[in-house]
Amino acid sequence: MRNLLDPTDLTIDEINQIIDLALDIISHREKYSEACKGSKLATLFYEPSTRTRLSFTAAMMELGGNVIGFSDANSSSASKGETVADTVRVLSCFADIIAMRHPKEGAPMVATQYATVPVINAGDGGHSHPTQTLTDLLTIKREKDRFDNLTVGFCGDLKFGRTVHSLIKALRRYKNVKFILISPDELKLPDYIKYDVFGEKIQFEETHSLEEAMPKLDVLYMTRIQKERFDSEEAYNRLKNSFILNTDKLLTAKKDMIILHPLPRVNEITYEVDNDPRACYFRQVENGKFVRMALIYTLLKWKKEGCTATNNHQIIEGTPCRYSRCISSIEPVKHLYKLSENGIYRCIYCEGPLENR
């Protein structure tokens, strides 16, 4: 059975197939209106969401299917101490596919060990958000008509920004994609993404200056400083106004640059920028529904066909992962590590190294 936990669970051909299917859905909505009739999606959201949960809901409804689930862990039996493992065993009795968001990194990976239906990671802590990546890719395809030969600037909270981590992992597999990483020192992209888990290093520059990066960019990906991931309010307050995109800062940008943001925004893009034709973030939201339609359809088709994933990673059992944000810190799981292509054993849940993170 196939799941989607990370963009690297899909080959480039499969990503392109899902994007093409989303484009076909956009052009021929009626054709897909009963494509998942009789199927149920369970949305298990242990962390707040507007776009992801509701676009999954809208996507399944537009495919003719039904949706069950919870939008708050406190309204589920998680509040009584039920594990992720038991919750997905239960939901596998009711639903054909599960989309899960959880504050702990690797929670959807634990879900795949117990579910008997496909599991989609709808965002796990500061780790990964692969369906946002598909959304971002569909937006880049529709706005720029290519994935190759792009200079992409990521600005803001690159440490905790799971959408950034996932999009870099996907885009690095296309030709001649360069990354400019714009962040304060405290919120730099984690080393495990820079010196990639999967081998060759990504092509990147780092800067503190959005103004310096702006003229070089084909895509500017703005992000929110992730207040909920900070250990102290003081640290958040110090960094919360690090980057604010306004119309003045766009004066040096390319005329065909596009501005993406996974949303929600706080103050990092002023409202006046919304009127600039390069601002794509609300078009991006709508693309999220179409690409999730394509993904649900594809995973259910693969399930029916008995399609399985090829996984060549060498796995070993090790000492408990020391990262407090890893799901293995709260769920009774085996402490498993996979050998990455750069020779380091990394936790299968959060990708932290076997020693200290």
294 in Cβ contact with 21 (< 8 Å): yes
- According to the binding rule CB under 6 A, does residue 50 interact with ligand CP? yes
Out of 71, 121, 132, 226, the residue judged to bind ligand CP by CB under 6 A:
132
Is 93 in a helix, a strand, or coil?
helix
Part in contact with ligand CP (CB under 6 A); list of ranges 84-92, 175-183, 256-264, 265-273: 256-264
Backbone angles phi, psi at 187, to 5 degrees: -120, 30
Tell me how crowded residue 334 is: count the other CB atoms within 10 A of its CB: 10
Which residue in 294, 265, 54 sits closest to 156, CA to CA?
Answer: 265
Q: Which amino acid is at 250?
A: L
206 in Cβ contact with 181 (< 8 Å): yes
- CB-wise, 11 or 50, nearer to ligand CP? 50
Q: Of residues 260-299, which lie at the interface with ligand CP (CB under 6 A)?
A: 262-264
| CA–CA gap between residue 283 and residue 279 (Å, rounded) | 9
| CA–CA gap between residue 299 and residue 322 (Å, rounded) | 33
Backbone angles phi, psi at 233, to 5 degrees: -65, -35
Q: Which of 43, 52, 112, 139 is catalytic?
A: 52
Q: Which of 51, 144, 301, 313 is catalytic?
A: 51
- CB-wise, 92 or 166, nearer to ligand CP? 166
| CA–CA gap between residue 104 and residue 172 (Å, rounded) | 25
Out of 49, 223, 226, 298, the residue judged to bind ligand CP by CB under 6 A:
49
Using DSSP bridges, classify how beta strands 345-347 and 336-339 pair: parallel, antiparallel or unpaired: antiparallel
Distances (CA, A) of 181 to 156, 212, 227: 9, 11, 20
Q: Write each residue from 77 to 106 as x if it is in contact with ligand CP (CB under 6 A), else as -, in one continuous string.
A: ------------------------------
Q: Which of 53, 102, 127, 129 is catalytic?
A: 129
Q: Which of 40, 101, 159, 224 is catalytic?
A: 101
- CB-wise, 52 or 57, nearer to ligand CP? 52
- According to the binding rule CB under 6 A, does residue 52 interact with ligand CP? yes
Residue 101 is among the residues annotated as catalytic for this protein: yes
Measure CA 184 to chain center. 22
- According to the binding rule CB under 6 A, does residue 130 interact with ligand CP? no
- CB-wise, 134 or 214, nearer to ligand CP? 134
Residue 265 is among the residues annotated as catalytic for this protein: no
Part in contact with ligand CP (CB under 6 A); list of ranges 17-25, 169-177, 259-267, 333-341: 259-267
- The least distance separating ligand CP from the CB of residue 264, rounded to whole angstroms, comes to 6
Residue 325 is among the residues annotated as catalytic for this protein: no
- CB-wise, 134 or 348, nearer to ligand CP? 134
Counting every residue written for the chain, the total comes to 357
Mention every residue, 6+ apart, whose C-beta is less than 8 A from residue 40: 65, 66, 67, 68, 94, 95, 96, 97
Part in contact with ligand CP (CB under 6 A); list of ranges 36-44, 173-181, 188-196, 258-266: 258-266
Residue 80 is among the residues annotated as catalytic for this protein: yes
Active site residues: 51-52, 80, 101, 129
Binding site for ligand CP (CB under 6 A): 49-52, 123, 132, 262-264
